[in-house]
Amino acid sequence: MARSRGVFEIIFKNFVNSIKPEVRPRKFMGEDYFGTKYYERPRASVSTRMRAERFFVPVVKEDHEQEIPPEWMAWLRFRRRDPPTEEEVKKNYIAMLTVQKKAAELEALETPVQTLPEKSAIQKVEENSNGPIQYPVHDEYKDCGSNYQVKIKK
């Protein structure tokens, strides 16, 4: 007859398994034009997670404002099943450069609008120091609450 497992034995085994580092191989999925490398780890058999783990390794480890191309971001967030191909990444990169070039040309064609120099904070305070600041008065709210009387409970 088989011995039943005790509650403490189950708790102890789960605790030990949670401390042990689980080594799962990471699979290289691709690289973007910034040099960022993308990986995927298969789902652990004992894990409660339903999906594989997707992550990236940036070129500069300290750069927390890493720019990620939209096709790779979609793959990282499971919006697409397969990682983007080299051809797709190159095509989107060329399109992005074209848009940036056209935007720079349009910006160069724009004539700058002359604006008056902004007043400093001191000048603004001096203008307002002549008297109290005048707020708008609306007639419909002018006498609001003037006939209010307190009701005393007995």
| pLDDT tens per residue across span 50-94 | 788 899 999 988 888 888 999 999 999 999 999 999 899 899 989
Per DSSP, the three-state class of 28 is strand
Q: Which amino acid is at 136?
A: P
Mean of per-residue pLDDT scores for the chain:
82
Average pLDDT over residues 99-118: 81
Q: Is the pLDDT of residue 125 over 80?
A: no
Q: Does the residue 59 lie in any domain?
A: yes
Q: Does the residue 10 lie in any domain?
A: no
pLDDT at 83 (0 to 100): 94
pLDDT at 13 (0 to 100): 85
pLDDT at 29 (0 to 100): 94
pLDDT at 42 (0 to 100): 86
Q: How far apart (Å, rounded) are the C-alpha atoms in residues 123 and 29? A: 60
pLDDT at 132 (0 to 100): 64
Q: Does the residue 92 lie in any domain?
A: yes
**Six token digits for residue 94:** 């060329």
Q: Is the pLDDT of residue 150 over 90?
A: no
Q: How far apart (Å, rounded) are the C-alpha atoms in residues 86 and 1? A: 60
User: How many helices (H) and strands (E) are present in the chain, helices listed first?
Assistant: 5, 3
> CA dist 6 to 3, 14, 16, 64, Å?
9, 13, 16, 47
Q: Is the pLDDT of residue 5 over 90?
A: no
pLDDT at 33 (0 to 100): 86
Q: Does the residue 148 lie in any domain?
A: no
Q: Is the pLDDT of residue 95 over 90?
A: yes
Boundaries of domain holding 27 = 22-108
Q: Does the residue 115 lie in any domain?
A: no
Q: Using 50, 70 and 90 to split pLDDT, how confident is the model at 131?
A: low
Total number of domains in the chain: 1
pTM of the entire predicted model: 0.55
Q: DSSP letters of 33-77?
A: TT--EEEEEPPPSS-S-SS-EEEEE-SSTT-SS----HHHHHHHT
